[in-house]
Amino acid sequence: MQIIPAINETDFEEIKRKIRLAASFAEWIHFDVSDGEFTDFKNWNEPERLLELGDELSGLKCEVHLMVKEPQAEIERWLSAGVLRVIIHAEVLANAWPMVIDKVDNFGAELGIALNPETGPEILKPYLRAAPFIQLLAVKPGPSGQKPDEAVLNKIKFVRSENSEAIIEIDGGVNEETARLAKAAGADILVSASYIWRSPNPKKAYETLKEI
């Protein structure tokens, strides 16, 4: 099982600390970005500052989850900062789709489509062939540490039935128990924040999930 540590912070010093720590054990890092409009929560959104890290970030592949009302206004900033995958919400994608596709293609990056817990998976159908990387949220967009909604397991099965080749990423409430359930349902990737960062040994917590 592939595991990606998530960073969901407001303070850049804490972000740098977690990036440096993740670089010692992880292949990918995941940035959560909330704008306070699409979400009730607002956090750090200054991708330009990642360039300050230089070689410290060079060993990590980066993806960003844009929980924002207008992803077309944010996507190029993150692509210019070097992220390899941009994840945008299906709930706001209809108007943004052409511009988003063009920008992702121009940078040679990958596009993922995210789905909130309360949104039915049928909304994904128009995108599953063009963007077969799907992120299913098990919690409401916002702070880390929320209790997961087990309805995400049925969404995994729906996506898999619609496109057997889709890559399915689960974000929210990941721990040993929920990781096993998600894997059994057909998930490929798990994004984890609290389970890893609140552990006394983040590397060990990461490896525990990876071995599931």
Cα 173 to Cα 178: distance, rounded to the nearest angstrom:
7
63 backbone dihedrals φ, ψ, rounded to 5°: -125, 150
pLDDT at residue 129, as a whole number: 87
What is the number of domains present in the chain?
Answer: 1
DSSP category for residue 193: S
Cα 33 to Cα 12: distance, rounded to the nearest angstrom:
13
One pLDDT digit (tens) per residue for the chain, 212 residues: 999 999 999 999 999 999 999 999 999 999 999 999 999 889 999 999 998 888 777 789 999 999 999 999 999 999 999 999 999 999 999 888 999 999 999 999 999 999 999 999 999 999 998 889 999 998 776 555 556 567 899 999 999 999 999 999 999 889 999 999 999 999 999 999 999 999 999 999 999 999 99
pLDDT at residue 114, as a whole number: 97
Taking the CA atoms of residue 56, residue 59, residue 61 and residue 62 in that order, the dihedral angle to the nearest 10 degrees is -10
Task: Report the CATH number at residue 192.
Answer: 3.20.20.70
Structural tokens at position 177 = 């128990």
Structural tokens at position 179 = 């990781």
pLDDT at residue 54, as a whole number: 80
pLDDT at residue 145, as a whole number: 54
Assessment of whether the complete model's pTM goes beyond 0.85: yes
Contact of 168 with 187, CB cutoff 8 Å: yes
State which residues form the domain around 117.
Answer: 2-210
